[in-house]
Amino acid sequence: MIAEGRVALNGVVLDTPATILTSLAGVTVDGEPVEAPAAARLFLYHKPPGLLVTERDPAGRPTIYDRLPEGLPRLVPVGRLDLATEGLLLLTTDGELKRQLELPATGVERAYRARAYGPITQEQLEELIHGVEIEGVRYGAIDANLERRTGANVWIELILTEGKNREVRRVLEYLGLKVSRLIRTRYGPFVLGDLPVGEIGEIKQHDVVAFRKDPTRKGGGEAPKLVEKPRPAGRGRINPNESTAPTSLPKPRPVRRITKATANRADKEAFAEPVRQAQPGRDPVVLTKATKVKRFYDAKPKAGTAAPVADTRPKRVFNPELGRNVRAKPPRDAKSAERTERPERAERAPNKSTPRTPGKALARPSKPRTVKTHKSRTRK
């Protein structure tokens, strides 16, 4: 642009880039004044496993830029996370801030939580504070602590300041452990916190300014503001790109209270057999609603229609001798009296087998009585 003569300072076209500028005041490009650079923006992204931290992949594997919402400015990642590693990934719009965060000389800490399989002791982890050399590569001090152990699986927290390629995995494999999960939880003063997986949030501007003044400070200030993803406009949602004002949403209907009566009525309606209507030309018989069958206890005689029923119960009269009511005897005529009269009882004939003798009856000989005097002795 300078060689083409498009850049000027205070109206004088520049012919060399070796020009010292104290500010952008008076600098123009094609006659238009140059605007002041925008403030650096910093974003937190909860990277899920299975995404590459690159703009494009020749093998066609998914990248973080395929999952970021639309409408964001051009972002560059601060450092990298490998394909299987998840957790906090910083994205920024400023290359100078990116370099400040990545340099080991800045002393920005990175915190990881690793789940590994194998035997390990706290004493072995404490030896990493002095650094370790693996296959000719020197790794700096690592503050490692054993969080908890579940059988042969252990959770280890590691804090380091260099962040070399696959540093955590190589150091733990050097100690005989097999890493099954690796999560970055903190980068400098910025903490992952409760940021959902796959979501992105922007750091407050005053927290970014405070970090640039003191990169080694602790604490990340306020929680990041989540970046809302654009919602599809074809499912009854409001499109932010449309200029029309959003319509008022309908009020929610009141919740209907279900009582025992309404529940019973709904059950009857659900299990009731439908009455099929007769179709002309197909059904010769017309279906009608069945009448209710009356039981004997439902029938009630109408007034004036039923004949009087004669009372067949026997009458009762008062008996002065007994002092109470007794059943009255019906009158009898002569024929019924002759038919129902019982003959006189005949004199009983004497028994021929046992002749009777006048006088005192003969006494029968009695059997000798047995008197018990003791358990083992008896006396007659």
Residues annotated as catalytic are 82
HEC per residue, the chain:
CCCCCCEEECCEECCCCCCCCCCCCCEEECCEECCCCCCCCEEEEEECCCCECCCCCCCCCCEHHHCCCCCCCCCEEECCCCCCCEEEEEEECCHHHHHHHHCHHHCCCEEEEEEEECCCCHHHHHHHHHCEEECCEEECCCEEEEEEEECCEEEEEEEECCCCCCHHHHHHHHCCCEEEEEEEEEECCEECCCCCCCCEEECCHHHHHHHHHCCCCCCCCCCCEECCCCCCCCCCCCCCCCCCCCCCCCCCCCCCCCCHHHHHHHHHHHHCCCCCCCCCCCCCCCCCCCCCCCCCCCCCCCCCCCCCCCCCCCCEEEECCCCEEEECCCCCCHHHHHHHCCCCCCCCCCCCCCCCCCCCCCCCCCCCCCEECCCCCEEC
| Backbone dihedral angles phi then psi of residue 207, each to the nearest 5 degrees | -70, -35
Spatial distance between the Cα atoms of 96 and 208, rounded to a whole number of angstroms: 13
Q: How many residues does the chain have?
A: 380
The token duo for 192 is 């992952």
Q: How far is CA 65 from CA 19, 53, 55, 198, in A?
A: 38, 8, 6, 11
Spatial distance between the Cα atoms of 124 and 112, rounded to a whole number of angstroms: 18
Rg, the chain, Cα only: 56
Assign residue 161 a region (left: φ > 0; alpha: ψ between -120 and 50; beta: otherwise): alpha
